[in-house]
Amino acid sequence: MPFSFLNPWFWLGALVIAAPVWLHLRRKRETDLVEFSALRFLDDQPESRRSPLRLRDLLLFMLRVLAVLTLVAAFAWPYLRGANTAPIKESRVYILDNTLSHQANDGFRRDRDRVLNEVSKGPSDIQVAVIELTSAPRVVVSFGENREAAKQKLEALEPSFQRGSYLAAFRQANSLLGNSLGEQKRIILLGDNQENQWNEGTSTPPFLRNVQVDLPKIIATALPNLSLSEPRVQRIFLGDKSLVNCTVKLSHQGEAKTADIRLSANEQVILNRTVDLDKQPETILLQAQWEADTASWLRGEVTVSGTPDALPADNRVFFSLPPVIEGKVALLAQSPYLRLALSTDVMRGQWATRVLEPTKLAAELATTEDADVLVVESNYLQSSDARKLLWRYLTNGRGVVLLVNRVTPSISGCLRELGFEAEGTISTEKGSAERFQFVFFNHPIFHPFLSADYGSLMDIKVLKYAQLRGNQAMPLIFSEKGAGLFFQGTKFPGKLFVAAFGLDREHTSWPVDQTFIPFLDLTLQTARAEDPMPTTFEPGEISKIQLPVGSTVREAVLRDERRVLSRAPVEQGRAQVRMPDKPGVYTLTYDDSDQAEKLFSVNPSPKESQLAYVDSPEAFKEWRVNLPPETGKSASSVVREKLSLSGILQQHWWWWMVVGGLAALMLEMALAEIKQARV
């Protein structure tokens, strides 16, 4: 087969052989001669005027010449023209979408089998890599990997419940192709073209250059689906009863007429009913209440079934709730209704109340035993000690519930420091009292009141209230005339809730309404300093767990009901834990203990249940680099494309020459050192 070079002019570098020839033929001048006086009258020995024309060290000379010739030949890029100089015609990256939505109609398994078939039976001139798209894309099969090993890795892939980014997967695929050997570059997306996934990468600079992309063809723009999402659970106390309030969103698209809902907690069935979906909105909020023990952890799940349903994998959600830990309340108020509601008889086991004496606030300031929440009426804020106490609670991250039952210049100044402006007081007659017009029911305090079992907040009347404007606060309740009546402050580390009225009969009818005790308990729970560690995660999500200061825990252990799933070392009071890939309720323990420290609920993203698809995504068009039109190419340039560097690198000639040249240099250096030592 004809032997040729891609860069033959590099053979001019062979002239460097003159260097070792000159080194061996030149006469070495002696530098260690010492003149001796007794021999000065002797005749000088005859000295040759020219260097001898012979090689002093033939072996050393041959090694030097061999090293120069092999390195020059390597950089001339030798190749066999008769051989396949470009054995890799195409570098191909498969992006295998393994998010939850791709399980619809068994799409993931179908595409995984396609990749298996093409990897195992594909031609040898196509190199293949496979990227699995989950919460973070990862390379499952890399270029050049053994086909049998690649097949085993692909067969081991199971459908996941995670959500991933098309943009991240395409960026990783583009990076792989940037270091590939094929003349052609191609990305093949094996996914469902979910619309909301494409919409997440619309504002990124273009990055796909000279890469062919194959997108899947969609069969339908939408598929029928029943799904559950966003479970929320809270404890509410009504007299001696401890109730659990649970809400969950039921979403439906398609022709399903009914849905069967089943709710269970701690292995007991709480609810089992059929929901009529005919002429209902696409998202329905389901709610349930039941009595539960306050001293133990609560874990449960909600399931839905119905037809047609293209994605049964999103028909289950999980929830958990910790046991009740009695909180502490410091009360600085005269309202008899408030004192009764926070008394031991009513709040036993939930809240321990300490009534503060106005004359002993200086002593209270001298102590460091603050409660979880301070409940104070504004008329006490005329005292500097009361203002200092309120300020200390808020700056130390503790909760405050402020009831504005009086407004004076000094109180207005205090409110201004809290982020509010007091603009006077409104008083109404009993017959013209204002009702609640708007309540932010999505807030944790008011969310349970979506159920009529706790009464209606819209029946509450307000007779007297302060006109407050929250500069650094979020209004949660408005009156019929649009006045803000209840606010959450945003200025301080501690949670601040401000009511524009007092909790007595002079100001409002709330204290004698059935919603009063649940509202008060939920407000205290929300104002209480929370554990910063969330308890709800998505599959595969990574979270850092903060341990208490001074903790001696060495590792955090994540378990399911049967076994240990993972162990995370604790470093500087923190442990990084990766949530499991499958939805469920998981337990966190410390070291070798079996005691549950936390329960984590893992549920898939509700976005994965939106089975709406797009055929020609706009985001993808923005990712491509717009290149100028190609001009005509000469025959020589076409030949050079065929004899690409990547193809030559895959022949053994170049590598043997580089290795041979380096080996000759190493031998030359070793031989030169040996001879130097003998001299």
pLDDT digits (tens, 9 = 90+) for 132-175: 999 999 999 999 888 889 999 999 999 999 999 999 999 999 99
Total number of residues shown for the chain: 679
In contact, 162 and 99? CB cutoff 8 Å: yes
Residues 674 and 594: their CA atoms lie apart, in Å, by: 68
Q: What is the tens place of the pLDDT at every residue in 343-393? A: 988 888 889 999 999 999 999 999 888 999 999 999 999 999 999 999 999
Q: Over 80: is that where the pLDDT of 589 sits?
A: yes
Q: Over 70: is that where the pLDDT of 9 sits?
A: no
Here the tokens at position 559 are 């378990």
Q: Over 70: is that where the pLDDT of 436 sits?
A: yes
pLDDT value for 53 = 47
In contact, 561 and 585? CB cutoff 8 Å: no
Here the tokens at position 268 are 């007991």
Q: Over 90: is that where the pLDDT of 418 sits?
A: yes
Residues 580 and 603: their CA atoms lie apart, in Å, by: 10
Provide CB contacts within 8 A for 160, sequence distance 6+. Answer: 98, 99, 100, 134, 539, 540, 581
Here the tokens at position 18 are 């003159």
Which of 70-74, 79-83, 669-673 has the least mean pLDDT? 79-83
The average confidence (pLDDT) of the chain is: 85
C-alpha separations of 236 from 302, 340, 373, 518 in Å: 20, 18, 18, 6
Q: Over 70: is that where the pLDDT of 305 sits?
A: yes
Q: What is the tens place of the pLDDT at every residue in 222-242? A: 999 999 999 999 988 876 788
pLDDT value for 642 = 43
Q: Kindly report the pTM of this predicted structure.
A: 0.74
Confidence class for position 529, pLDDT limits 50, 70, 90: confident
